[in-house]
Amino acid sequence: MIIKFNNRNKFVLYVISKAIKIDLKNFNQTLNLLKQKGILNTGLKIIKSGRFAFIPVIDIINGYEIYEINFEEYKKVKDYKDLIDIPENMKKLLPTSYDRIGEVILIKLPEELYPYAEIIGNALLKFHKNMKTVAIDLGVKGELRVRQLRVISGNGLFTIHKENGIRIAVNPADVYFSPRLSGERKRVMEKVFNGEIIIDMFCGAGPFSVLIGKSKNVDIYAIDKNPNAIEYLKMSIKLNRINNIKPLLGDVMDVMERLPFADRIIMDLPFYSFNFIDFALRRSKKGTIIHLYTITDECSSMLKSLENRFFILEHGVVHGYSPKENMYFFDLEVK
């Protein structure tokens, strides 16, 4: 092994390997032959010079003269960070996780990394070759729970997100959507019985409703006050070829009064769900199941406040939210 500097003053590793020399006219044909025989040295970069190429091999091949040449090793890329050329003191600030929604990557960056945002975005797209856009997630803001996004690489935020065998049409800059709830949505769907009437009080792009509607013979009323949310839900209904979801645009405080009594109610509005329990109870009956989601650091106090009106069937952490807070689910049965 030989270590050399390239023209960017970076260390590059070179390895001596057997090689064959071929005319570039026969390049693809020869490469395929070497792959079929399993003698191509895939860890080294092929050298092209003029109208010839030197291909590294791990064994002798009949009909070709064998050379011994220094080849550059392919750098093994295990993470997007391996593709980023920024000062070392900045690399330690690079996030270790990010959300992928369809073909869109959402990443949270500390402000110190903003000058390198485009470099980071390009590295993510190079590492995830099936993605098309990277955007900085600046947080959820406003009454409609919409993410503030800044595109740093690629183009376009509308995408089709696939999970649990369904397709969700969504633009994360228009309507809130979290891919981290995929497992939770499946958990709830598996508890649903055919014939139920279900109200999805804060449906967003409709992932709960679409998964349940695709999997079960039920009637679903999906409510949201964000017009974009309802339009994307309508797209997803067509994409998944289902007809048992009724998208309803409006405030739950107004819409709930017009709906039938429900067998099951989904309340996925983590910061505010608790404030709307009385509205859920107006469309509940004895035995109605409510799936309540909330973000808190006081799970025990939440349980105490709920157990007076509900049987608590199950509860637990969906995922962490901050150093002190978690997102919890509560499966409740109306007494």
pLDDT along the chain (335 residues), means of 10: 43 80 90 89 88 90 87 81 88 94 97 95 93 95 88 95 97 95 97 98 97 98 97 98 97 95 97 93 97 92 89 94 92 96
CATH number of 2-72: 3.30.70.2580
Q: What is the pLDDT of residue 69?
A: 87
Angstrom distance (rounded) from CA 250 to CA 260:
16
Angstrom distance (rounded) from CA 325 to CA 323:
6
Q: What is the pLDDT of residue 331?
A: 97
- The architecture of the domain spanning 80-157 is 2-Layer Sandwich (3.30)
Angstrom distance (rounded) from CA 113 to CA 124:
14
Residues forming CATH 3.30.300.110 domain(s) in the chain: 80-157
Angstrom distance (rounded) from CA 287 to CA 332:
9
**Annotation: CATH topology of 178-334:** Rossmann fold (3.40.50)
Residues forming CATH 3.40.50.150 domain(s) in the chain: 178-334
Those residues whose C-beta lies under 8 Å from the C-beta of residue 317, and which sit 6 or more positions away, are: 326, 327, 328
Please, which contacts does 213-217 make with residues 24 or more away whose CB atoms are closer than 8 Å?
213/237, 213/240, 213/242, 213/244, 213/245, 214/165, 214/166, 214/240, 214/242, 215/189, 216/189, 216/192, 217/244
Reported as type and span, the H/E element at residue 254 is helix 252-255
Residues forming CATH 3.30.70.2580 domain(s) in the chain: 2-72
Q: What is the pLDDT of residue 276?
A: 95
Q: What is the pLDDT of residue 112?
A: 95
Q: What is the pLDDT of residue 12?
A: 61
